[in-house]
Structure formats: C-alpha cells, structure tokens
C-alpha cells in the first residue's frame, strides 16, 4: 500500500489574499468551494506537483503561521528565484550549500517556504 502526501493545509487570515498570492506565484487554483455555513475550501497545486496546498475558513485550527516550513523542489534555482521576483515576491538570494541550493520566501501570513535545487539530481 502506498501512502502519498497530497495536500498540506495552511492557516491564512484572508482567503482571497492567499489565493491571489499563490496564483501570482504560479500555483493552479484547483478548487474553491463553500460546502457549508462558515466553511470555504481552496485547494491549489504548484506546477508539476503531486501535492497541493489547501486553506480557507473553517478548515484549519490555529493561527497563521503554524505549519513550519514547506519545501518546493526545482530543477533550476536561479530561474525559480527570478520567477518569484517577477511575481513580486520578497525572496532571498540563492543560498548555496554543499548539499543543495535554496531560496526562501514567506506568504502574506508568514507561512515559510523553502525552494530547493539539488545539483546531483540534474548534473550528469
């Protein structure tokens, strides 16, 4: 039996602002529905990912930001950073470590994201 991680829930204070941010970053808006009173469920997926994020009202207990850090993996860290810059995201410079290269950014609610490039996966 496979156990797949397919959705990570994020706490947000403003659902529309979060949806606009993640759309601007390039996530696909898969689902936006209000299935009941006081509930709104938004699901968005990064390009090429098998795991989505979900946020809304009435679905996540706790205030932002309480998820720790989430990680996106890319094949070109400089292109990923430039994409974030072009989308108006406050993103770090490339952090080159022996085991990988990284950039970091936060969403409007302080949910922290790491973007990782592992050279050994792509250089051969």
Model-level pTM? 0.86
Domain boundaries, the chain: 7-122
State the architecture of 7-122 in CATH terms.
Answer: Roll (3.10)
Sign for the CA dihedral angle at 80, 100, 51, 76 comes to positive
Which pLDDT does position 121 carry in this prediction? 72
How far from 60 is each of 4, 46, 64, 82, 112, CA to CA, in Å? 20, 20, 10, 31, 17
pLDDT tens series, the chain, 124 aa = 777 889 999 999 999 999 999 999 999 999 999 988 989 999 999 999 999 999 999 988 777 766 668 999 999 999 999 999 999 999 999 999 988 999 999 999 999 999 999 987 766 5
Kindly tell me the burial class for residue 4, based on how many C-beta atoms sit within 10 Å of its own C-beta (0-12, 13-18, 19 or more). exposed
């Amino acid at each position: 039996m496979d156990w797949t991680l397919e959705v990570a829930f994020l706490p947000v204070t403003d659902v529309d602002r979060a949806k606009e941010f993640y759309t601007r970053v390039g996530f696909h808006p898969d689902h936006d529905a209000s299935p009941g009173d006081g509930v709104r469920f938004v699901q968005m997926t990064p390009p090429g990912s098998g795991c989505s994020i979900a946020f809304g009202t009435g679905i996540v207990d706790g205030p932002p930001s309480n998820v720790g850090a989430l990680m996106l993996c890319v094949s070109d860290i400089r292109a990923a950073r430039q994409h974030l810059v072009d989308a108006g995201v406050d993103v770090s410079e490339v952090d080159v470590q022996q085991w990988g290269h990284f950039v970091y950014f936060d969403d409007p609610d302080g949910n922290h994201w790491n973007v990782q490039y592992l050279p050994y996966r792509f250089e051969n």
